[in-house]
Amino acid sequence: MTVNRTFLGRPLRSVAFDAFVSGIVALAGLVGAVAQPGGWLATLVGMAMAVALLFRRTHPTATAVAVGALGLSQVIAGWGPLAFDVGVLIAIYSVVKYADRLRDGVLAGIAAAIGVVLASLQVRGPGPWWGSAIYFGLVTGAIWLVGLNVRTRRLYVLSLEERAATLEREREAESRAAVASERTRIARELHDVVAHSMAVMIVQADGARFMLDRDPETARQAVKVVADTGRQALEEMRRLVGVLREPSPSQPLAAPDASARPDGAGVSADPEHRRLALAELPTLLDRFRAAGLRIRHTVTGTPPALPPGVELTVYRVAQEALTNALKHGGVGASVELTLEHAADAVVVRVVDDGRGRPVVNPAPSGGHGLVGMRERVGVYEGSLTAGARPGGGWQVEARLPLPSTSATTEVIAA
C-alpha cells in the first residue's frame, strides 16, 4: 500500500524539492557574498529570492512578482547579473506552469524581456550589449517555452483524470439504473407468479368447500394443496421484497465485471406480460433459429416440478444468453444449450463458438444483460459465470439451487 506523506498539507516530495531549489539559490548568493557587486546587501537580495521560491507552487504569481521586484532593485542598484539570478528563471518557469491563468505567465514573460534588456546594459565586457541581450533572451525564452510545454501536458493529464472520473461515475449510474430497471421487471413477473398462486388457492378452497361433505378425502387433498401453494406464494413474496429493497450504504451496489463481454438486455419483452415457463423454451429456440443461430438443445436428468419463479429465471437466462450469442457470435454461430436437472439444483448452460458471420451494423457495447442475469440468479441465491472460452466463443452458466421440498399443485374442479 502506498502512503502519501504530506507536510503542511502539501506532498512531502514537492516540499523537499522546492526546499532544495531554494537552497541552491541561497547558496549562490552566499558564495559570492564577498566578491560580487553589492556584497552582503546583494546576498540579502538573493536570500529573499530563495525564500520567495519556497511558495512557487502554491502562489506562483505572487512569487514571480516578489522575485521580479527583487531583480528590479538589483538593476536599479547597478550590480548587473549575479549568480542567484537563476531564481528569476525559476520564478518564470513556475508562474507559466502553475498559475491558474496563462495570462500571468505572458505578463511575466514581458517583464522578463524588459529585465533582459536592462540587465544586458549593465554587463561589463568587450562585446556589444545586444549580444548579451540575445544570449539572455534565448535562455529566458527557452525556460518560458519549457514551462508552457509542461503546463500543457499537466492540464492534459488533469483533463484525462477528470474524464476518467466522469466516465466512472456515469458507468456506476448506468449500472444502478440497469439494476433498478431489471428489479422492476422482476417485480412485475414475480407478481404474476404470486397472482397465479392465489388463483390456484381460491379454486382449491372453493373445491374443498363443495367436496367437504361428498368426498372428505378429496377435500383434504385440496386443503393440502392450498397450504402448499400458500407457502410457495409466501416465499415468492419474501424474495420479491428482498429484491426490491435498496442496498445499504455499507453494502454498495456491485458493478458489472469489467472482463465480461457486453451484451444486450435480451429480446423484446412479452407483449401480454404472461408468465413464461420452460414449456415455452422450444418456441424461444425456434425464434433464435429463425434469426440465424444453429442451436442444439440438450436436457439431462429428470425435470422436477420447479417453482414458477425458478422456471421464469431459467427462461430469462437462456433468453439473455442466446441474445448475447446472436449479437457477438454472429449469424450462423453454433450454440449448445444444456439444461441439467439435479436433485438439488438446475443448471442452464449456453455455449457458442463465436464463428458466425460478423454483423454488418454491430450493436453498441455497454449493455446490461449480464447485470440482469446476475440480479435474477441472485434472487434465488444462485451463481452465474460468464466469460470467453479458450478456443473462441462465449459461455454462460447459471446454477439455481432448488428448495428442499417442492409443493405439488393440483387443481381440483369444483
- pLDDT of the residue at 398: 93
Least-confidence region, from 5-19, 175-189, 231-245, 285-299: 231-245
Query: Does residue 328 register a pLDDT over 70?
Result: yes
Do residues 94 and 195 share a domain? Answer: no
Q: How many domains does the chain have?
A: 2
- Percentage with pLDDT > 90 across the chain: 8
In a domain, 386, yes or no: yes
* 378-389 pLDDT, tens digit each: 888 899 998 888
In a domain, 130, yes or no: no
Q: How confident is the model at residue 199 (pLDDT cuts 50, 70, 90)?
A: low
Give me the sign of the Cα torsion angle 155, 161, 164, 165.
Answer: negative
Mean pLDDT of 30-50: 78
Rounded Cα–Cα distance for residues 335 and 349 (Å): 10
State the residue for C-alpha cell 447485470: 371
Report angle CA 24, 28, 29 to the nearest 5 degrees: 120
- pLDDT of the residue at 383: 92
Least-confidence region, from 107-111, 171-175, 177-181: 177-181
Do residues 326 and 217 share a domain? Answer: yes
Q: How confident is the model at residue 336 (pLDDT cuts 50, 70, 90)?
A: very high
Do residues 117 and 53 share a domain? Answer: yes
- pLDDT of the residue at 404: 65
In a domain, 69, yes or no: yes
34 or 144: which leads in pLDDT: 144
Do residues 195 and 287 share a domain? Answer: yes
Query: Does residue 372 register a pLDDT over 80?
Result: no
Cell digits of residue 181:
430497471
7 or 305: which leads in pLDDT: 305
- pLDDT of the residue at 195: 64
- pLDDT of the residue at 311: 86
Query: Does residue 338 register a pLDDT over 80?
Result: yes
In a domain, 147, yes or no: no
In a domain, 154, yes or no: no
Rounded Cα–Cα distance for residues 335 and 353 (Å): 7
* 243-298 pLDDT, tens digit each: 666 554 444 444 444 344 434 333 334 434 445 678 888 888 888 887 778 999 99
**Which residues are CB-neighbours of 325 under 8 A, at least 6 positions away?**
293, 333, 335, 350, 352, 394
Give me the sign of the Cα torsion angle 375, 379, 380, 383.
Answer: positive
Q: Of 124-138, 294-308, 319-333, give the range with the top mean pLDDT.
A: 294-308
Do residues 73 and 194 share a domain? Answer: no
At position 96, the amino acid (one-letter code) is V
In a domain, 141, yes or no: no
Contact indicator for 92, 126 with CB cutoff of 8 Å: no
Contact indicator for 70, 49 with CB cutoff of 8 Å: yes
Do residues 91 and 195 share a domain? Answer: no
- What is the span of the domain harbouring residue 23? 6-124
Query: Does residue 4 register a pLDDT over 70?
Result: no
Q: How confident is the model at residue 130 (pLDDT cuts 50, 70, 90)?
A: confident
- pLDDT of the residue at 253: 42
Rounded Cα–Cα distance for residues 312 and 229 (Å): 17
Residue 318: which CATH number? 3.30.565.10
In a domain, 333, yes or no: yes
Do residues 372 and 302 share a domain? Answer: yes
Exposed, middle or buried by CB within 10 Å (0-12, 13-18, 19+), for 340? Answer: middle
- pLDDT of the residue at 368: 59
3-state SS, one letter per residue, for the chain? CCCCCEECCEEHHHHHHHHHHHHHHHHHHHHCCCCCCCHHHHHHHHHHHHHHHHHCCCCHHHHHHHHHHHHHHHHHHCCCCCHHHHHHHHHHHHHHHHCCCHHHHHHHHHHHHHHHHHHHHCCCCCCCHHHHHHHHHHHHHHHHHHHHHHHHHHHHHHHHHHHHHHHHHHHHHHHHHHHHHHHHHHHHHHHHHHHHHHHHHHHHHHHHHHHCCCCHHHHHHHHHHHHHHHHHHHHHHHHHHHHHCCCCCCCCCCCCCCCCCCCCCCCCCCCCCCCCCHHHHHHHHHHHHHHCCEEEEEEECCCCCCCHHHHHHHHHHHHHHHHHHHHHHCECCEEEEEEEECCCEEEEEEEECCCCECCCCCCCCCCCHHHHHHHHHHHCCCEEEEEECCCCCEEEEEEEECCCCCCCCCCCCC
Rounded Cα–Cα distance for residues 312 and 302 (Å): 18
In a domain, 392, yes or no: yes
142 or 260: which leads in pLDDT: 142
Mean pLDDT of 83-106: 86
87 or 222: which leads in pLDDT: 87
Do residues 103 and 27 share a domain? Answer: yes
Rounded Cα–Cα distance for residues 305 and 133 (Å): 95
- pLDDT of the residue at 191: 64
Mean pLDDT (the chain) is 77
Do residues 118 and 183 share a domain? Answer: no
Query: Does residue 58 register a pLDDT over 90?
Result: no
pTM: 0.43
Query: Does residue 112 register a pLDDT over 80?
Result: yes
**Which residues are CB-neighbours of 43 under 8 A, at least 6 positions away?**
29, 30, 32, 33, 36
Do residues 74 and 183 share a domain? Answer: no
Query: Does residue 351 register a pLDDT over 90?
Result: yes
Rounded Cα–Cα distance for residues 210 and 219 (Å): 8
Do residues 77 and 179 share a domain? Answer: no
Do residues 209 and 283 share a domain? Answer: yes
Q: How confident is the model at residue 330 (pLDDT cuts 50, 70, 90)?
A: confident
C-alpha 44: how far from its chain's center? 54
- pLDDT of the residue at 240: 63
- pLDDT of the residue at 255: 41
